[in-house]
Amino acid sequence: MNARAVKIGIALIILLAMIPLYYFFNPAAAKEKAANSKNEKSELAAKESTAQKSQDEKKETANEYSKKDPEEAAAVNNGDESLKEESVTSEKASSEEKKEIQRDFLVVIDPGHQRHANLGKEPVGPGAVEMKMKVTGGTSGVATGKPEYQLALEASVILGDLLAKQGVKVIYTRTTHDVNLSNKERAEFANQHKADLFIRIHADGSTDKNVSGLSVLTPAHNDPYTKAIYEDSLKASELILAETKKNTSVKVNGISYRSDLSGFNWSQVPSTLIEMGFMSNPVEDRNLSDPTYLTNLLSNVADGILQYASLKK
């Protein structure tokens, strides 16, 4: 071994020994380096978990859609493939915003009729000379024997639950059959609560047992009492009708414009009334008492209301 090689060897050893010495005498530099690598790791983990969460949420949405409409489910899935982190974040923000909006949207649901009719009279509208019965007994099922007031409450609770699940605020005019609430009082209840939508749930009856189908009743254009709510009411009625038409198991008749209903005429908030079907038709009567049929139909009604809510807020 010559002296030159020994010198180079010693120099190398000294150089190597300098590295830990540098960190030993300069602990701040070491800490910073460690901290940086830690931050990078946790940031990465956070990003990954956000992306995973959004993916999961999207999948859930897709599954929900697929129950109802395979076309929409396909659309959501296609979007999934071209996911970019930015779009995920903004979509997430907008869906949270949507929930926030719906929380501010109040629907007053009025289950039609009550156990005991009140055949006393009240004006058909504010300042009207014409008088109308306060609240009638409603119809009843020709096959099931179920009174309309009972079906109306059953349906209202299902509809309310569907809306509440979507973050909509729901209040009922009644939750029992033993009330004494006139149609005017029901409308005033919606006014007092400043409802964004007053929805009345009924079922039809006819002397002809062959007549069937769902109708949406809306304030008439020429009704002097409902000028202020005509347009919004019609919008809500149309959106609900369009959604129910998507349901192939439900016969849908259309919109009926009414100026004779106290429940509309006393209302200062947008109002609509769903006649879910004819209880005088044996098939439809049985259908309306089938929880699957009824829930299906009401999920269409809820979808229409949600569309109206997103338009208005």
How far apart (Å, rounded) are the C-alpha atoms in residues 47 and 25?
36
Tell me which H or E stretch contains 133: strand 131-135
Q: What is the CA radius of gyration of the chain?
A: 32
Spatial contact of 239 and 307, defined as CB atoms under 8 Å apart:
yes
User: Nearer to Zn ion by C-beta: 168 or 301?
Assistant: 301
| Four-point Cα dihedral 234, 203, 267, 105, nearest 10 | -70
Closest distance of CB 159 from Zn ion, Å: 15
User: Nearer to Zn ion by C-beta: 154 or 196?
Assistant: 154
How far apart (Å, rounded) are the C-alpha atoms in residues 131 and 129?
6
Considering only 3-11, 53-61, 106-114, 208-216, which stretch makes contact with Zn ion by CB under 5 A? 106-114
**# residues near Zn ion by CB under 5 A:** 3
Q: What residue type is assigned to position 36 of the chain?
A: N
Contact flags string 48-87 toward Zn ion, x per CB under 5 A: ----------------------------------------
User: Nearer to Zn ion by C-beta: 147 or 306?
Assistant: 147
Name the residue among 217, 215, 216, 203 with its Cα closest to residue 281: 203
User: Nearer to Zn ion by C-beta: 138 or 304?
Assistant: 138
- For Zn ion, the binding residue among 54, 118, 124, 138 (CB under 5 A) is 138
Counting every residue written for the chain, the total comes to 313
User: Nearer to Zn ion by C-beta: 174 or 202?
Assistant: 202
Taking CB under 5 A as the rule, does residue 304 contact Zn ion?
A: no
Closest distance of CB 311 from Zn ion, Å: 28
Strand segments, DSSP code E, in 205-299 are 214-219, 252-258, 271-278
Bridge pairing between strands 131-135 and 118-123: antiparallel
Considering only 38-46, 93-101, 202-210, 226-234, which stretch makes contact with Zn ion by CB under 5 A? 202-210
Closest distance of CB 122 from Zn ion, Å: 17
User: Nearer to Zn ion by C-beta: 132 or 202?
Assistant: 202
Residue 196, φ and ψ in degrees, nearest 5: -80, -25
First vs last Cα of the chain: how many Å apart? 88
Closest distance of CB 124 from Zn ion, Å: 16
How far apart (Å, rounded) are the C-alpha atoms in residues 120 and 131?
10
Taking CB under 5 A as the rule, does residue 202 contact Zn ion?
A: yes
Considering only 24-32, 72-80, 108-116, 249-257, which stretch makes contact with Zn ion by CB under 5 A? 108-116
Considering only 75-83, 85-93, 109-117, 174-182, which stretch makes contact with Zn ion by CB under 5 A? 109-117
User: Nearer to Zn ion by C-beta: 58 or 113?
Assistant: 113
Taking CB under 5 A as the rule, does residue 160 contact Zn ion?
A: no
- For Zn ion, the binding residue among 111, 112, 263, 304 (CB under 5 A) is 112
Closest distance of CB 148 from Zn ion, Å: 5
Q: Is 227 helix (H, G, I), strand (E, B) or coil?
A: coil
- Report the residue number whose CB is nearest to Zn ion: 202
Name the residue among 209, 179, 216, 198 with its Cα closest to residue 270: 198
User: Nearer to Zn ion by C-beta: 155 or 269?
Assistant: 155
Name residues whose C-beta falls within 8 Å of residue 11's C-beta, 6 or more positions apart in sequence. none
Closest distance of CB 133 from Zn ion, Å: 12
Binding residues vs Zn ion (CB under 5 A): 112, 138, 202
